Amino acid sequence: MSRVGKEPIEIPNNVEVNISDRTITVKGTKGTLAFDFGYEVDVKEENNKIIVEKIGKTQNAPALWGTTRAIIKNLIVGVSEGFKKQLELQGVGYKMSVQGKKLVLHLGFSHVVEKEIPEGLLVEIEKDIMTISGADKQAVGQFSAEIRSLKKVEPYKGKGFRYVGEQVIRKEGKKTASGE
CA-CA distance, 115 to 107, in Å (whole number)?
13
Q: What is the mean pLDDT of residues 154-159?
A: 90
- The pLDDT of residue 164: 93
pLDDT digits (tens, 9 = 90+) for 128-137: 999 999 999 9
All CATH 3.90.930.12 domain ranges of the chain, comma separated, are 9-80, 83-163
What CATH superfamily classification does 9-80 receive? Ribosomal protein L6 (3.90.930.12)
Element (H, E) at 98: strand 95-99
Q: What is the pLDDT of residues 95-134, one digit of tens each?
A: 999 999 999 999 999 999 999 999 999 999 999 999 999 9
User: Nearest Cα to 104, choosing from 123, 112, 140?
Assistant: 112
Q: Is it the case that residue 70 has pLDDT exceeding 60?
A: yes
The three-point CA angle 69-9-23 to 5° equals: 50
Q: Closest Cα partner for 135 from 4, 10, 27?
A: 27
Average pLDDT over residues 74-82: 94
CATH class entry, domain 83-163? alpha beta
**Helices then strands, each counted (H, E), the chain:** 2, 13
CB distance 21 to 9 below 8 Å: no
Q: What is the pLDDT of residue 52?
A: 92
pLDDT at 180: 53
